[in-house]
């Protein structure tokens, strides 16, 4: 049976966890805002620079060369921005997952202690029922561990796929820009 002190301690731990998760979420939002401010500042500076370059163009061929030179960095910057967004989301998700796993491990440990305590205090003749409960708990724990491993592997595969798609997109833009340059020359 739970005592008032145990309930209070559990409640306090849950509140601390909630505030910890809230802080992690705000850190992720802060990083996102910071990234967007950096992108906005850089974009404004680039627009001013590109406008000056466009105003100094003397003929159509020079304008085409300017457009081609601007396309490749734009694709690379978009890919870099996507990578940063993905990194922020992944880091925030990892922090939340770490807290969730720790909380689950704590609950699991406490539940196992309750089961063990109940088994020790079980009346004679209930050994089969106790063994069945312990077996069910062990099976559930194994299933949860397998699900966690599968989720981590899926995350790793998704990360690898994201990196591959981003790299392919950047290479395609580079190849397209090279093709336009050789056509313009």
CA-to-CA distance for 163 and 79, rounded, in angstroms? 10
Model confidence over 137-181: pLDDT tens digits? 888 888 888 887 888 888 788 878 877 877 777 777 666 655 555
Q: Domain range for residue 21?
A: 4-184
DSSP codes of every residue in 18-78: HHHHHHHHHHHHHHHHHHHHHHHHHHHHHHHHHHHHHHT--SHHHHHHHHHHHHHHHHHHH
Q: Are 71 and 173 in contact (CB under 8 A)?
A: yes
Overall number of domains in the chain: 1
Model confidence over 79-128: pLDDT tens digits? 889 889 988 988 888 888 888 888 888 888 888 787 788 778 878 888 88
pLDDT at 176: 60
- The two structure tokens encoding residue 86: 């993905």
CA-to-CA distance for 155 and 149, rounded, in angstroms? 10
**Distances, alpha carbon 63 to alpha carbons 43, 53, 59, 178, in Å:** 20, 9, 6, 16
pLDDT at 178: 59
Q: Which single residue is written with the structure tokens 């404004």?
A: 44
pTM of the model: 0.63
């Amino acid at each position: 049976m739970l005592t008032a002190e145990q309930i209070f301690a559990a409640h306090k731990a849950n509140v601390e966890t909630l505030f910890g998760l809230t802080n992690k979420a705000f850190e992720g939002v802060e990083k996102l805002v910071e990234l967007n401010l950096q992108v906005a500042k850089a974009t404004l500076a680039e627009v001013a620079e590109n406008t000056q370059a466009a105003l100094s163009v003397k003929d159509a061929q020079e304008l085409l060369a300017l457009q081609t030179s601007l396309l490749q960095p734009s694709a690379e910057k978009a890919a870099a921005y996507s990578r940063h967004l993905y990194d922020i989301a992944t880091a925030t998700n990892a922090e939340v997952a770490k807290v969730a796993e720790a909380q689950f491990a704590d609950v699991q440990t406490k539940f196992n202690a309750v089961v063990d305590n109940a088994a020790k205090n079980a009346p004679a003749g209930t050994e089969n029922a106790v063994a069945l409960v312990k077996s069910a708990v062990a099976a559930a724990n194994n299933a949860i561990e397998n699900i966690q491993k599968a989720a981590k592997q899926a995350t790793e595969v998704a990360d690898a796929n994201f990196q591959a798609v981003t790299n392919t997109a950047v290479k395609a833009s580079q190849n397209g820009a090279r093709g336009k340059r050789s056509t313009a020359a």
